[in-house]
């Protein structure tokens, strides 16, 4: 009798165990993130908010370092905040074999990459090879060799039926969105001016700072961030956003190829950091050995983070430039300037003292006629219907586009917007047909420009 009872008990336990496993399996969401070597704070910003389609458990694989500690602190901060807290469950593995461990375990289906760029293209390629989707922070390639591998990886992704996508947050900045919308309205903007090297059709300039605040705290940057062999030079890093915006705004939803790009000139320059400044942003007392090659005058560090590219994209002349300073003036942030020149009007985004260091969009017209003004006001009504609350304010040389604060959600929030768009593409099972060729064209432009700048 006792044997029969024991048997029934074992069967009951097994049955309940199976039911529990199935219950846990059914609760697991369709999308599971795997975070690999989160050396950049952008990795955490992908998780600043929760997503209904994404599992709350995130497996993290990284080498032992302060970078991963900072990453976990940021995630904990999102979980513990009073307003809209998240419920991420971080499971960490650290070790020199972190990437191999990730590949062997496959604890998820979407690899999130935002950190040291030296091996990023390789990690992307190997993740795709294993049938994993990849959401990668920019840049996905920092030199010509990386670009060649990245190009092959897109072909591999097609074969494996997985998605490879980069985090282009600037497409979600409201002034960039409205600048694009207005440029597509021929009655307001006209056609693109052809432009020239001296007077480009479209200009985009970006100014950044090493010392900055993120989520209310002073950002601690890893020492490798200042090594261009690990982070990438400025001309292939921040300019990724600028080149992307030019493609996205000037040729919306159109396929672009490498043959559409004609590089005219490119240059690179360093920003000099003192040891004191380096310590303030890294919490390191001295320059690490791998930065010795970049030390000037025995005491300062030369970081090649500034760059400029002049090129033609199809028929228009474009200019992008990036500059890094140590610290922004009090009360200011990173700034962005953009100008699109049309036959009827120029569309400018300015972010200087006059704009209280906030991005502001202008429609600039020299001596507008009554007919043009009437047309503008009529055409703008369509935009007002699409973006409720926006309006026009007449100024000396045109109009300022007044944008409600509700649209100005900030750079950090844009990461969740990109992630939501990526989730949408995952759900649909594909990317828009222009995204992949345009990503390839973008990284061809930046890496080829670096090659040209170095040759000069």
Residue ranges per structural domain of the chain: 1-25, 31-166, 170-218+229-272+292-455
Q: Any residues with CB less than 8 A from the CB of 93 and at least 6 apart, and which?
A: 59, 60, 61, 62, 101, 102
Work out the burial of residue 165: count CB atoms within 10 Å of its CB; fewer than 13 is exposed, 13-18 middle, 19 or more buried. buried
The per-residue pLDDT for 1 is: 43
According to DSSP, the residues that pair with 293 across neighbouring strands are none
CB atoms within 10 A of CB 7: 10
Cα separation of 304 and 425, whole Å?
36
Give the CATH superfamily of 170-218+229-272+292-455: Dihydrodipicolinate Reductase; domain 2 (3.30.360.10)
The per-residue pLDDT for 356 is: 86
According to DSSP, the residues that pair with 69 across neighbouring strands are none
- Residue whose tokens read 């097609």: 158
The helix (run of H) or strand (run of E) holding residue 203 is strand 202-211
Low-confidence ranges of the chain (pLDDT < 70): 1-28, 215, 331
Cα separation of 190 and 107, whole Å?
52
Is residue 114 a contact partner of residue 46, using CB atoms and an 8 Å limit?
yes
**DSSP three-state, residue 359:** coil
The helix (run of H) or strand (run of E) holding residue 318 is strand 316-327
- Is the domain spanning 31-166 CATH 3.40.50.720? The answer is yes
Is residue 403 a contact partner of residue 178, using CB atoms and an 8 Å limit?
yes
Is residue 399 a contact partner of residue 393, using CB atoms and an 8 Å limit?
yes
The per-residue pLDDT for 27 is: 59
Q: Render pLDDT for 34-66 as a digit per residue (tens, 0 to 9).
A: 999 998 889 999 999 999 999 999 999 999 998
């Amino acid at each position: 009798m006792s044997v029969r009872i024991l048997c029934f008990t074992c069967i009951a336990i097994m049955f309940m165990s199976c039911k529990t496993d199935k219950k846990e399996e059914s609760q697991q969401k369709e999308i599971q993130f795997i975070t690999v070597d989160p050396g950049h704070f952008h990795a955490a910003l992908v998780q600043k908010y929760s997503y209904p389609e994404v599992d709350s458990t995130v497996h993290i694989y990284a080498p032992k370092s302060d970078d991963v500690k900072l990453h976990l602190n940021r995630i904990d901060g999102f979980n513990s905040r009073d307003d809209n807290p998240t419920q991420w469950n971080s499971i960490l593995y650290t070790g020199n074999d972190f990437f191999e461990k990730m590949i062997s375990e496959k604890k998820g289906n979407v690899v999130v990459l935002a950190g040291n760029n030296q091996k990023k293209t390789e990690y992307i390629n190997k993740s795709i090879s294993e049938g994993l989707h990849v959401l990668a922070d920019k840049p996905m390639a920092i030199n010509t060799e990386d670009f060649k591998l990245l190009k092959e990886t897109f072909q591999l992704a097609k074969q494996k039926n997985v998605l490879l996508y980069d985090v282009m947050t600037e497409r979600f900045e409201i002034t960039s969105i409205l600048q694009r919308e207005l440029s597509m309205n021929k009655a307001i903007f006209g056609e693109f001016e052809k432009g020239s090297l001296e007077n480009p059709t479209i200009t985009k300039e970006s100014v950044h700072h090493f010392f900055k605040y993120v989520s209310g705290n002073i950002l601690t940057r890893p020492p490798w961030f200042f090594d261009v062999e690990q982070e990438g030079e400025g001309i292939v890093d921040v300019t990724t956003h600028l080149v992307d915006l030019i493609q996205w705004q000037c040729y919306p939803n159109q396929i672009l190829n490498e043959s559409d790009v004609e590089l005219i000139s490119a240059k690179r320059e360093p920003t000099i950091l003192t040891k004191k400044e380096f310590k303030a942003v890294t919490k390191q007392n001295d320059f690490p050995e791998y930065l010795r090659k970049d030390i000037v005058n025995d005491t300062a560090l030369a970081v090649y983070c500034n760059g400029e590219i002049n090129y033609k994209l199809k028929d228009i002349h474009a200019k992008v430039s990036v500059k890094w300073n140590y610290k922004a003036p009090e009360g200011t942030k990173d700034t962005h300037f953009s100008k699109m020149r049309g036959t009827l009007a120029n569309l400018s985004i300015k972010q200087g003292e006059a704009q209280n260091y906030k991005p502001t969009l202008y429609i600039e017209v020299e001596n507008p006629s009554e007919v043009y003004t009437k047309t503008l006001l009529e055409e703008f009504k369509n935009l007002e219907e699409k973006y409720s609350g926006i309006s026009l304010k007449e100024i000396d040389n045109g109009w300022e586009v007044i944008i409600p604060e509700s649209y100005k959600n900030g750079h950090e929030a844009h990461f969740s917007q990109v992630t939501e768009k990526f989730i949408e593409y995952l759900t649909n099972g594909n990317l828009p047909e222009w995204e992949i060729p345009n990503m390839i064209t973008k990284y061809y432009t930046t890496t080829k420009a670096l090659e040209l700048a170095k040759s000069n």
